[in-house]
Amino acid sequence: MERSIIYQAWLLQNRKISDLVHKLSDEDLKKDVAFGRNSGLYLLGHLIASNDLLLPLFGFGEKMYPEYEKIFLCCPDKCAQNFPAVKEVKSHWFALNEYLNLKFASINEKHWIENDKSYYQLKTMLTIVNHQCYHLGQLAFLL
């Protein structure tokens, strides 16, 4: 039951972010969420880099977009760097989360309680859910 609650929370936040991304134009995502703050593009890339951490954590394979870690987790938005195109970042958001959703849906319920790493996995996933909620609120300012 614990797994399904955390997984459902993760899935809900991903759907909310995806719905918002569908509503935002490429130009909207290039804007800062508030004066002097992160751009929508940076935040979306940041969320991709965060969700990508779940792949190796859960044994689903290597990160899909390892280059995003340096661009969107290790460096702040305003440092001089080249971001991928908005369309590419959007595409990566949807591809990564579709893959993660398929992988999570295929996990047997017993895996979550029999696996020694399950506590750490669930705690990390819950942290990512909270992280998504925070950045979803920021992205909403772009509407």
**pTM score:** 0.92
Average pLDDT rounded to a whole number, residues 23-48: 95
**Euclidean distance between CA atoms 30 and 15, whole angstroms:** 21
- Look at the block and give the residue holding tokens 């800062």: 32
**Euclidean distance between CA atoms 120 and 118, whole angstroms:** 5
How does residue 115 score in pLDDT terms, banded at 50, 70 and 90? Answer: low
Average pLDDT rounded to a whole number, residues 129-141: 96
**Euclidean distance between CA atoms 7 and 126, whole angstroms:** 9
Q: Encoding tokens for residue 33?
A: 């969420």
How does residue 109 score in pLDDT terms, banded at 50, 70 and 90? Answer: confident
pLDDT of residue 6: 85
Res 117 pLDDT > 80: no
- What is the chain written as a DSSP string? -HHHHHHHHHHHHHHHHHHHHHHS-HHHHHSBSSTTS-BHHHHHHHHHHHHHTHHHHTTS-S-S-THHIIIIISS-TTSS-PPPPHHHHHHHHHHHHHHHHHHHHTS-HHHHHH-TTHHHHHHHHHHHHHHHHHHHHHHGGG-
Q: By the 8 A CB rule, do 135 and 46 touch?
A: yes
Q: What is the pLDDT of residues 1-32, one digit of tens each?
A: 455 788 899 999 999 999 999 999 999 999 99
Q: What is the pLDDT of residues 54-108, one digit of tens each?
A: 999 999 999 999 999 999 998 888 786 789 999 999 999 999 999 999 999 888 7
